[in-house]
Amino acid sequence: MSDFIALLQYRTTQEGGRKTPAFSKYRPQIKFDFDEMQTSGEQTFIDKDTVYP
């Protein structure tokens, strides 16, 4: 298992992104630009419990 810290940019609702907030322990499908594979992983937000779109 690997842990890392990343700067995430959520898509706007116009781009097809979330319409509701994301909470710590959120497990979305993630697509990285450098790979065709999609993956999921638990997102824990530093100094926040909730992130709003």
The string of pLDDT tens digits covering residues 4-52 is 777 878 788 898 888 888 888 888 777 777 877 777 778 888 888 888 8
- Whether the per-residue pLDDT at 3 is higher than 80: the answer is no
Q: What does the DSSP assignment read for 5-24?
A: -----PPPGGGT--SS-EET
What is the pLDDT confidence band of residue 1, given thresholds at 50, 70 and 90? low
Phi-psi region of 19 (alpha: psi -120 to 50; beta: other; left: phi over 0): alpha
**pLDDT at position 7, please?**
80
- Residue extents of the structural domains in the chain: 20-53
**pLDDT at position 5, please?**
78
State both tokens at 12: 């706007």
pTM confidence score:
0.50
Query: Which residue do the tokens 């993630």 mark?
Result: 30
